[in-house]
Structure 1
Amino acid sequence: MNAPTEGLHIYCLHERERNHRLPLALRANAHLYLLDPRQRIIRAIALIPSSRFSEANNRLFDAEKVRDFACSYLEASSSTSVRWDLFGIRYAMQRLLVGIAAGAAATELVHRTLIDQNPDAELHPSTKPSLSRYGTPSTGPDTIHYENHALHYDQARRVPLWSLERLCRAHLDGPANRRTSRFRPDDHVPKQFQSANSDFWKSGWSRGHMVPAGNNKHSQSAMDETFFLTNVVPQNIDNNSGYWNLLEMKCRQLAKETYDDVEIISGPLWIPEATDENGKRFVRYEVIGKNDVAVPTHLYKIILGRKGDRLDLASFVVPNRPIDIKRPLTEFRVPLENLERIAGILFFPRLDRNSVGDLCATSEGSCDLSLKHAGWIASRSIQTARDVTSLEREWRRIDAQGFLDVVPGLEEAYMKKKREFEAAEH
């Protein structure tokens, strides 16, 4: 599977810059490098004379064509091999040297595919890459890659448009602890387009992960990266801790019990809901903080499960407000094509949809939210209350979300915790 849009770029370093940015072992003759979205050099893939790139300094190239060329050449070569992972930016090389023939071919290809800060030119043939001497407008990188997730960041709304992760059993256990993680801006996003923690303070909205921290227990660094604000939207706190949390737990259950792995895409939506007396529809949403972070009206989640050669999919859209946990998940199910039309995003563009099954029809309860998980959420909110005031607040939230109707023993747990606080006061 692949990210909704490609984010890998090929970057050419000018002769006078490379000594300042390359590891010593790579300073000799290599000038064409693969970089991840944070612009860290990964490794040279070709040895190209620097004179051939004198005019290409600090230019971005069509990643898809160069990657496909590199893969096809290296697979056919007896001297070098390459392996690409889910997001296409990590690879293992048996040898570094590619040879003069590869360098010449890559040079010709790069010159043919040179584009001016416009990685979508291939999708839009009418685009004229050389129209501006100074670069066409940029909305930032198509994809920002992290250790175990990738996303497209909306610089105008200061939220991710989509966040993609791949979840398997191995990710669900490990030493990672979210208590050591901190919400923070990603400094690789220009400061003028960042959101800040202060935007959320006293706003009435929580910081809602699109890729959950709990899906990365295998790695502390992967968990920490889910706390970048590039992965966060303003989310109703009851939705975040209630229904949406149950949906995230359902994804973990599917990865643990049903599928070999699960790919999940989550993100915000802004859907017309208001209609005036003339029948006109409007999209109205709040913005918070000095950075005007956009509050979505809805959230979506696409789940693609793989079991051997079998693929199953389901997609859901939920309102960004409190939802009674007794409401069935299937009530919020939408066809993927409808979601794509609303979001303006083509999800899993290389997926053969004729071969994909219905995730909700694979087994009984495959799209039912777990009462066991609901009980864990409600009990945890009671036990983690810091004082009587926060306990009463959590109790009202538990009642409003419908937990009392489906989880036994909550009232006893609440009264026990309340007595503990009262005893401590005396």
Structure 2
Amino acid sequence: MRNRLYIILFIFLGLQACSETEVAPKDTFDTPVSEHVALGNPSNATAEVSDFNNFLMVKPQYVLSYSRDKGTPNWVSWHLNKDWLGSAPRQDDFRADMTLPADWYRVGASAYTGSGFDRGHNIPSADRTRTVEDNSATFLMTNIIPQAPNNNRNTWANLEDYTRDLVDDGMEAYVVMGSYGVGGVGSEGAANTIDNGRVTVPRNIWKVIVILPEGENDISRIDTSTRVIAVNTPNINTVDSNWGIYRTSVDAIEQATGYDLLSALPDQVENALESKVDTGPTR
């Protein structure tokens, strides 16, 4: 009987791997595998509608955990290398994500109007310029948070530019960005929510970037000397434009969020990398 079960499972997984509609094969019956979560699923998000504040959404361009009650992603994860960069122009087509469950409120493009907060990307538009479709995917509102304008346009823009500069120089990166807490300070002052209370303004915004030379078999190439940049900023308009001063450890971000980052790495490597605070160059 055991052999028969193994044969059935083998056939099922083989069929899944060949499916044209999958982003990638499945490692369980519930959670799709994607290059964008190669380092792990930080919150163990699932695609069950009942998991409404930790709802897994797998897109060809990135993977995220969405909170229905907050109206924002908990985290967004993506892989960045030269394959994802091209000449597609910025689309600026902010729009509701129609792939959310039909009975959920879908944040619209105008939800942030007059709020004093930017429609802040988690995965940046400029990280997905291979095709128009790829770039357009970053403007879905499930990838967006209320972000203080100076935080978005200066601090995080500088870190995003720096990451792409590394890729241009022959590196690749695995990136996870998220937010937590309630209450930020935008150009119109402090707020806990916008859009008539349907979108929560986060207190902090964080990012973890794992950087390695471009190559194959990435997970096996990550070791205790791999550079990991962890940044955690307050979501305020008076934030410093130098992201380097907000560097912290992955351990500290995990403690603040309750997530398990870099969980796909061997324990020894994970523990070593998560305890460090990056001191490398910032430009």
What TM-score do you get using the length of structure 2 for normalisation? 0.73
The answer as to 2:187 corresponding to 1:287 is no
Kept in 2, the 8 Å contact 1:299–1:319? The answer is: yes
Partner of residue 263 from structure 2, selected from 322, 334, 349: 349
The answer as to 2:73 corresponding to 1:155 is no
Match of 2:77 in 1: 164
Match of 1:376 in 2: none
**Letter of the 1:350 counterpart:** A
**Letter of the 1:269 counterpart:** Y
Match of 2:129 in 1: 217
- Equivalent residue runs for 1:64-83 within 5 Å: 64-66=27-29
**Letter of the 2:68 counterpart:** Q
**Letter of the 2:80 counterpart:** L
- Equivalent residue runs for 1:11-410 within 5 Å: 41-42=21-22, 64-66=27-29, 86-87=35-36, 137-139=50-52, 142-172=55-85, 174-178=86-90, 180-190=91-101, 191-257=103-169, 259=171, 261-270=172-181, 286-290=192-196, 292-307=198-213, 309-310=221-222, 311-322=226-237, 323-325=239-241, 327=242, 329-352=243-266, 354-355=268-269, 360-361=278-279, 366-368=280-282, 370=283
The alpha-carbon distance between structure 1 residues 290 and 177, as it changes in their structure 2 partners (threshold 3 A), is same
3-state DSSP class of the match of 2:196?
A: coil
3-state DSSP class of the match of 2:233?
A: strand
Greater C-alpha radius of gyration: 1
Deviations 1:384-414 (Å, cap 9, x if unpaired)? xxxxxxxxxxxxxxxxxxxxxxxxxxxxxxx
Give the superposition deviation at 1:255: 1.9
3-state DSSP class of the match of 1:347?
A: coil
Deviations 1:106-140 (Å, cap 9, x if unpaired)? xxxxxxxxxxxx987xxxxxxxxxxxxxx994317
Instruction: Name the structure with the higher strand share.
Output: 2
In structure 2, C-alpha distance between the alignment counterparts of 1:136 and 1:350, rounded to whole Å: 25
The alpha-carbon distance between structure 1 residues 319 and 359, as it changes in their structure 2 partners (threshold 3 A), is closer
Aligned-residue CA RMSD (Å): 3.5
Kept in 2, the 8 Å contact 1:199–1:291? The answer is: no
The structure, 1 or 2, with the larger RCO (C-alpha pairs under 8 Å, 6+ apart) is 2
In structure 2, C-alpha distance between the alignment counterparts of 1:258 and 1:269, rounded to whole Å: 32
| Unaligned ranges ≥5, structure 2 | 1-11, 39-43, 185-189, 216-220
In structure 2, C-alpha distance between the alignment counterparts of 1:241 and 1:87, rounded to whole Å: 25
3-state DSSP class of the match of 1:306?
A: strand
Tell me the matched-pair count: 241
The alpha-carbon distance between structure 1 residues 119 and 297, as it changes in their structure 2 partners (threshold 3 A), is closer
In structure 2, C-alpha distance between the alignment counterparts of 1:203 and 1:272, rounded to whole Å: 13
The alpha-carbon distance between structure 1 residues 317 and 140, as it changes in their structure 2 partners (threshold 3 A), is closer
Give the superposition deviation at 1:202: 0.9
In structure 2, C-alpha distance between the alignment counterparts of 1:293 and 1:176, rounded to whole Å: 30
In structure 1, C-alpha distance between the alignment counterparts of 2:22 and 2:166, rounded to whole Å: 34
Give the superposition deviation at 1:354: 3.2
The alpha-carbon distance between structure 1 residues 295 and 353, as it changes in their structure 2 partners (threshold 3 A), is same
Match of 1:104 in 2: none
In structure 2, C-alpha distance between the alignment counterparts of 1:272 and 1:207, rounded to whole Å: 16
In structure 1, C-alpha distance between the alignment counterparts of 2:66 and 2:95, rounded to whole Å: 15
In structure 2, C-alpha distance between the alignment counterparts of 1:86 and 1:286, rounded to whole Å: 34
Give the superposition deviation at 1:141: 6.8
Kept in 1, the 8 Å contact 2:194–2:200? The answer is: yes
